Chains A and B, each alone.
Chain A
Amino acid sequence: MRKRTLVKWILVLVVIIAGIGSYTTRSKRATNQQSITAVGSTALQPLVEAASEQYSAEHSGIFINVQGGGSGTGLSQIESGAVQMGNSDLFAQEKAGIDPQHLVDHKIAVVGVAPIVNKKVGVTRLTTSQLIAIFTGKVKNWRAVGGKNIPITLINRTQGSGTRVTFEKYALKGHSSAVAQEQDSSGTVRQIVSSTPGAVSYVSFSYINKDVQPISIDGVSPTERNVMLNHWKIWAYEHIYTNGKPTGLTKKFLNYLQTKHIQTTLFNKLGYISVKDMHYQRTWKGQLSKESGVA
């Protein structure tokens, strides 16, 4: 019995010593290590994550923690000051319950949003009024817009999702979509549209692939070039918000995201459009002006 007690105490001692030892010998990097956190939009997450990995690789001792959680989470976390960067698909002004006063907007990229349909409906182009009729539930069969005799299955993104707000604002000209199926992620939307006859929905350009049919509106096809020239009206900014002016590492990282290197490599891969390439800029109320808005 005595022996066992002794062994127990030795074990406890070893653990304590190991703990202190590892604390004091933690790498020198750790002591001057800096870490910042970005939370929010799942659409922006892969870009910021990839950029942060490259940044950490180039600057040792830097740790950038990137999390999803949705634009609402991003904005409420940045407003409360719990994180350094809040990623959002929407302007803070567009989101209920946010006081945008102290938030500083950094427009990181532009994404185009396009309607997609199942490949078998036989429609590749629509007019704006046809699109509105489809999404408000006035037209119920693809035959009415020149397609095959297949009933229309509407699929929406969740209420409050950035893609849905953008789509309703600029594609449906402010009409809200009829109550229908809702999915909370672009990947699921794409999978459902590709496998459900007569399905129609909308995704950002990066999710368009050969499984679904993108739709041209009023003769304009959804390409990056058309977005830059504002011929294709359905686009939105991806924002990173900071609480007050960014300082230190946050500032450096935001600058890094604007460098040519990042904008030409990562942006292309992800289907994002650089803000610098835009010929127009837009305010949160939708007012256009002819300039990219980047100094």
Chain B
Amino acid sequence: MNRMQKQSQVAMGLLRAIAGFVVLILAFLIGYIFITGLPNISWKFLTSPAKAFSAGGGIGIQLFNSFYLLILAMLISLPIALGASIYLNEYAKDNWFTSTIRTAIEILSSLPSVVVGLFGFLLFVVQYNFGFSIISGALTLTIFNLPLLTRNIEEALASVADDQRQGGLGLGLSKYETIIHIVVPAALPGIISGIILCSGRVFGEAAALIYTAGQSAPALNFADWNPFNIDSPLSPLRPAETLAVHIWKINSEGIMPDLTKVSSGSAAVLVLAILIFNLSARYIGRKVFEKMTSMD
């Protein structure tokens, strides 16, 4: 074995060690969250409302709020992101205008979420007088979410082979028809996993919501699904503390005796939810891909 090969082997070993070390850190993190958190999770914890200063509070309303806000934010941001990314990837010429827009989107994506939250606070909560409400939170999350979602969808569109576009145009379809009927369906697996990955980020976001969706979770009447009633779970004008905000709040101001339990339990639920998002992103992406590419 010559010197070079030895060197190579040492380096390979080193790389393996680094990767192992990183895995160790990540495993520790996830293990820590689950080990401290999972024992506190029970059906009651997941469904009962939070308590401000006595033990035994749950996270039922916060959990519902998190999902509701996520769905609303996605409903608003998806069409915008889809349109924008189609334009960027299919229509836009490579000129200064396009590159300015790209830079702008990237600036928006690297903006600290605190700043986005304060912008949302002053615009939606104060200026438009929506108050601390789901709608303010959802709009702020949209701002927070748009750049990343646009980027993900654009990547998915870009990965569609040009042959498909040429095929569509060759059949006499217009460009827009080609995009809608051929390119977007072909990119669907990528788009779906992009959406779900963004969902994970939105789900865990706290700083942007503290000043917009608010820090209180008033009791809801789960028998009333009429969005115009203020105590209905669907009402967009009620304040809604999400799970991530709840963790932040009880760690900073909480005075309930079982604070650490609630906080670590909530953290575990959050990570679990994001885990489910990621796994389902993979699964759905694969299934859709199989279906699209199957012969029948």
Contacts and interface: CB of A to CB of B under 8 A. Distances in A.
A39 B125 CA distance: 12
A206 interface: yes
A269 B53 contact: yes
A198 to B, nearest CB: 23
A46 B250 contact: no
Contacts of B224: 27
B131 A37 contact: yes
B253 A187 contact: yes
Interface string B52-73: 1110000000000000000000
Interface string B223-246: 010111111000000110000000
Given A27-B229, A269-B53, A65 B131 contact: yes
B216 A206 contact: no
Contacts of A196: none
Nearest to B250: A187
Given A68-B215, A68-B216, A50 B52 contact: yes
Contact of B132 (A23, A49, A67): A67
28 contacts: A23-B228, A29-B229, A30-B229, A35-B230, A37-B131, A42-B215, A42-B253, A45-B215, A45-B216, A46-B52, A46-B53, A46-B253, A50-B52, A53-B218, A56-B218, A56-B219, A63-B231, A65-B131, A66-B216, A67-B132, A67-B214, A67-B239, A80-B126, A187-B254, A187-B255, A188-B251, A207-B255, A269-B54
Given A46-B52, A63-B230, A187-B252, 19 more contacts: A26-B229, A39-B132, A42-B215, A43-B253, A45-B215, A65-B216, A65-B239, A66-B216, A67-B214, A67-B215, A68-B214, A68-B216, A77-B126, A82-B126, A185-B251, A185-B252, A187-B255, A187-B259, A188-B251
Interface of A: 22-23, 25-27, 29-30, 33, 35, 37, 39, 42-43, 45-46, 49-50, 53, 56, 63, 65-69, 77, 80, 82, 184-188, 191, 206-207, 269-270
